[in-house]
Each structure stands twice: as structure tokens, then as C-alpha cells.
Structure 1
Amino acid sequence: MAEITRKRTGELLQELFAILLASPAGLPAREALHQLAASVTLTPYEAGEYESGGRRFEKVVRFATVDCVKAGWLVKDKGTWSVTDEGRQALQVYPHPEEFYRRAVKLYAEWKASQPNSDTGSASTMTNELKPADEISASPDTSAKAVSVTFDEAEEQAWSEISAYLKAMNPYDFQDLVADLLRAMSYHVNWVSPPGKDGGVDILAWPDPLGTRPPRIKVQVKRQQQAVSVEGLRSFMAVLGDNDVGLFVCTGGFTKDAEYEARTQEKRRITLIGLEKLFDLWVEHYDRLSDQARRRLPLRPIRFLAPLN
């Protein structure tokens, strides 16, 4: 029977890592897999599908990345994959594909053995370390990996829909969403810019209802695709007074230069909030949002078996 060998799995993983390293901020999983499929020649077997559905190539790569995550070589966050410094080093230390994959599997086994109630001596666990990746994916001992893959795919789908929803939101509705979040965080919003010129400030808020206690919070909100440049950040910082705190919210994120500028400020206090951070704050304070606010970005948790951390 045709199979995807350990060496072939290592080749796919190493090529995936090379693709991800070319994008330091990481790539959405689907984009990374798309680029990987375009950069290698898939065999008919790899390009085929499992009876349960799903292309064999993608399933095998996803299963193998579980080993890499537990090895500390790969990070997955909201459907975005990125290589860690340890992963970059592993590429250099283990240049041979089979050796690279074997090391990832070994580190996964060590992680699994360290978990509470782990059956470290089971024959199936030891045997799976020696099996080809395609055989492992069908083994009962990999139920934890199957759960991880399911969890990853669910998170990717959810984040894809949520981020698309926020990016397509009317700019003024998005501005109101940010104001609602500040209220849920116990800040007192006393002004939200109406349509038209705003002088570089979209929201004003204070720690107290009367606005007598510093700092005053000035917020600029950008619902746009492109990242804010350092010049755009400096334009906003120009409207901040000595006792102000600036919040810059942008769905497109910020360039590396802009992030560095904000991080190294000595006189101006400013916080940059990209789409992912905004969503995390929304979830964290969801219980304190008004019913009207929740309708701007309604969320409903779905519970299913999650992978071990």
C-alpha cells in the first residue's frame, strides 16, 4: 500500500518551515498549506483524499505539526502558524528530513509522557514513534493529535469569519464597538466622533464619570486593510498632551517601525491595538458589555473536547 514515509513527512515539514520563516509574522494555516502544496510536487497518493474526507497531504501535514508544536518549534494562534527560534535552530541542527521529523516526534512523546495519567510504557506509544506518518494518523494512540487537529481547524474557521466580519464593518459602527469595549472595561466615554473630520481623535474617555481624574484617554480608530505606518502613528501622537494616554486601534495592524516607535516612547504613552488584541479584549469583557454592544459582535461559545495544553 502507498504511504507517506517519515522522510517525506520531514521534507514537507522543512519546506513548510521555510515558507513560514519567510513571513516572520506568520501565515494563516490555509495560506501556508496552499503555498506548501504549490512548492512541492505531490504524488497522486498525497493529492488523494481520505474516505472520511479531506486531502491526504493536508491531513498528514496537520498531524505532523502537532509534534512540532509540542516540540516548541511551531506556534499556532487564531489560525496563524509561525516558527519559533527553537524551530529555526532545529532546521539547522537536523538538516536531514527524516532526522528532523524523528526529533519532533520524540519531543512530542516526551511531552506526552510528562502529562498527568500518561501511559508512558504502552507498546502502542513506543511503536508509533517508528511508524510512517500516514499510518500514525490512523492509529488509536493518536486520538489526542486528532483532537488537536480538529481544534485547530475549528479555531481557524471561527477566526476567519470573525476577522472578516470586523474588517467589513461600517467604520462608524466599528468606532462605536471600540467605545462599547471601553465602557465594559470601566472607562467613562463622554465623546465619540460623529461622521466628518475628527481632528485625529475618534473617542475621548476618562477613568471617572466627571473627567476630573487623569489620564485623559484619546483613541484613534482605523477600520482599514493596510497597516498603520510610523508616519501615521506620529500624526496621532502629535495630538496627545503630556497627561494623555493614546490608544490606536486598527484592523490592519501596524508596521514594525510603528510598533518600535510606540514601544520606545519616553514622553508619549501610547498603546497599539490590532484586530487580534481587540478581539481578545472583547471576549475577556464580554459579560460586562451591554446587550446593544453585544449585537455589534455577537459571540456564542461552542463546547467540544479540547486538546491538552
Structure 2
Amino acid sequence: MAEITRRRTGEFLRELFRILMAAPDGMRASDALQVLASRFTLTPYEADNYESGSRRFEKIVRFATVDCVKAGWLVKDKGIWTITEAGQAAHAELPDPEAFYKRACKLYAEWKAAQPDAEGSAAEVAAAASAVDDVDNNAKAASVTFEEAEEQAWAEVSQYLRAMNPYDFQDLVADLLRAMSYHVTWVSPPGKDGGVDILAWPDALGTRPPRIKVQVKRQQQAVSVEGLRSFMAVLGDDDVGLFVCTGGFTKDAEAEARTQEKRRITLISLEKLFDLWDEHYDKLTDRARRRLPLRSIRFLAPGG
């Protein structure tokens, strides 16, 4: 039966790390895997497809990245893969592909042996940590399945939100604030809004500060520092500003918000908005839930 060697897997991983290190803000897993495949001549075994239609090459790489995540070298979030400083250091320290992958496997085994449900004496745990060839394939398979499902789910959710009517998206943000126990007193109707789309207060009468001013942007491009400053110009001394944008914010804009001394401003990206929606989903009204309906699917918790 055709197999793939540890060295070949290490070659894939090291090249994947090169690709991701060139994207310090992270890269979509599907894009990174596509670039990675273009840099190798795949064997018939690697290029073969499973019955599900997925290519074996991608499964091989995803399987191996589970070790890298537990080693602390790679972070995965909603389908975005990012190399950590520890990952960059390992890439520089271990140029040999086989040694690189072996180290990742060893760190995975040490992580697994240290889990609360790990059994055995200290000597047995140490032996398990050093037995890098004895990999828990079932746990890794569950982890990869969960990861791919999460990526697909987020791709659909983000596409749905980005395509939403701007005023429906604005109402969605207002519904979220209500679910978070804020009292929304005004939502901008279609037309010019003077830089503020939503007004909210901590109390129903609007007598207790701070007043919350919200600007909502459903756009593809990131908000620049100039765009952020335009919004901050409408904030009073007792106001708190929330800036919601589907396209995110430039690094300069994030730094500007983070270092403000007089203006209190919170930036909410599409990812953060979804996390808040999910967190407060049970407190949303039925009408609000219909704007972005979610359904939970139960998975066997990945052990890897």
C-alpha cells in the first residue's frame, strides 16, 4: 500500500510555514493549501481523491498541522492559519524536514501525555512523550473533521453577513446590543446619518452614562485611521464609540483606537461580531434570530 514518509510530510510542513510566515496576519487554510500544492509535484498517491472528493494531499497536511498546533507553532481560528513566534523559531532551528516534523510529533505526544485524562506513571508518560511514531490517529482525524466543518461554517456565515442589506445589517447590530442588555433608543433610517447609526444607553431612561454611539459599515475594505478619526470626531467626552465593520480595520486604525486617552472606542470586526452574536444567541428575540439563524451540530470532541 502506498504511504507517505515522515520526511515528505516534513517537506510539506516546512514549505507551508514559509508560506504562512510571509502572511503575518494569517492566511485562509484553503488558500495556503492551494499555494502549497502548486509548489510540489504530487505523487499519484498524494494527488488521489477520497470518495468525499477531498484530495489526499490536503488531508496529509491537515493531519500534520494538528501536531504543530499542539506544539504551539501554529494557531487556527475560523479557517485562518497563523504561525507563532515559537513556530518561526522552530522553522529556523530545524532545517531538516524530518527533524522538523519529528519535533512537532514529540511536542504533540508531550501535550497529550500531560492531559488530565492521561494514564500511567511518570515513567510511562515520559515514554509516551518520546514515542513520536505512536500517533493517536483517531483523535487527529476527529480534529481535522471538526476543523474542516468549522471552516465551512464560517465561510458560509461570513459570506451571508457580507451580502446582507446594509440596513438589515445595522438592525442586526442593534438587536445584538439589546441582547447584551443595552437600551437602543435610535437606529438611523435610510439616508444621511451624521456619522452615527445607532444610539444606546446602559439604562432604559437614558439617564446613566455613558451614551453609546455606534457606526456600522458593511464593506469589503478595512477602515483606515482617517475613517476612524472621522467617527471619533462625533464622540463627546461622556460617549463610548463602537465601530462595526465587516472589512475589519487597518493596523494604523487599531493602534489609534488602542492608544486613545480622551476617546473611548471599541472596534468590532466581523469575527468579533459573530462571536458576540453566538455568545448572546439565547437572549435574542425570535425576530432577531431570523436575521442570522444558527443551529448547533454536535461533534465528538477532538482529543487532538
TM-score band (shorter)? Answer: over 0.9
Q: How many Å separate the matches in 1 of 2:210 and 2:128?
A: 57
Q: How many Å separate the matches in 2 of 1:53 and 1:192?
A: 46
Q: How many Å separate the matches in 2 of 1:300 and 1:2?
A: 40
Most deviating of 58-67 and 26-35: 26-35
Q: Equivalent residue for 2:29? A: 29
Q: What's the CA shift for 1:52?
A: 6.3
**Identity, % of aligned positions:** 76
TM-score (norm 2): 0.94
Residue type of the alignment partner of 2:132: E
Q: Equivalent residue for 1:39? A: 39
Q: Equivalent residue for 2:105? A: 105
Residue type of the alignment partner of 1:307: P
Change beyond 3 A, Cα 1:75–1:308: same
Q: Equivalent residue for 2:264? A: 269
Q: Equivalent residue for 2:249? A: 254
Offset from partner CA, 1:60-84 (integer Å, 9 cap, x none): 0000000000000011111111111
Change beyond 3 A, Cα 1:103–1:217: same
Offset from partner CA, 1:268-296 (integer Å, 9 cap, x none): 10000000100010011111111100000
Secondary structure, counterpart of 1:204 in structure 2: strand
Unaligned stretches of 5+ residues in structure 2: none
Contact preservation (8 Å) 2:75, 2:82: yes
Q: Equivalent residue for 2:296? A: 301
After TM superposition, the structure 1 = structure 2 runs for residues 189-200 of structure 1, keeping only pairs within 5 Å, are 189-200=184-195
Q: How many Å separate the matches in 1 of 2:52 and 2:167?
A: 45
Q: How many Å separate the matches in 2 of 1:228 and 1:41?
A: 40
Q: Equivalent residue for 1:55? A: 55
Q: Equivalent residue for 2:133? A: 130
- What is the number of equivalent residue pairs in this alignment? 300
Q: Equivalent residue for 1:64? A: 64
Runs of at least 4 residues of structure 1 off by over 6 A? Answer: 124-128
Change beyond 3 A, Cα 1:295–1:72: same
Q: What's the CA shift for 1:25?
A: 1.5
Q: What's the CA shift for 1:28?
A: 1.5
Q: Equivalent residue for 2:78? A: 78
Change beyond 3 A, Cα 1:279–1:126: closer
Offset from partner CA, 1:89-123 (integer Å, 9 cap, x none): 1101111111100000000011111123335659x
Residue type of the alignment partner of 1:202: D
Q: What's the CA shift for 1:54?
A: 2.4
Residue type of the alignment partner of 2:13: L
Contact preservation (8 Å) 2:212, 2:240: yes
Contact preservation (8 Å) 2:106, 2:130: no
Q: How many Å separate the matches in 2 of 1:146 and 1:127?
A: 21
Q: How many Å separate the matches in 1 of 2:131 and 2:137?
A: 9
Residue type of the alignment partner of 1:302: I
After TM superposition, the structure 1 = structure 2 runs for residues 141-152 of structure 1, keeping only pairs within 5 Å, are 141-152=136-147
Q: How many Å separate the matches in 1 of 2:166 and 2:117?
A: 51
Residue type of the alignment partner of 2:230: S
Secondary structure, counterpart of 1:249 in structure 2: strand
Contact preservation (8 Å) 2:237, 2:263: yes
Change beyond 3 A, Cα 1:164–1:52: closer
Q: Equivalent residue for 1:186? A: 181
What is the CA RMSD across the aligned residues, in angstroms?
1.9
Contact preservation (8 Å) 2:197, 2:213: yes
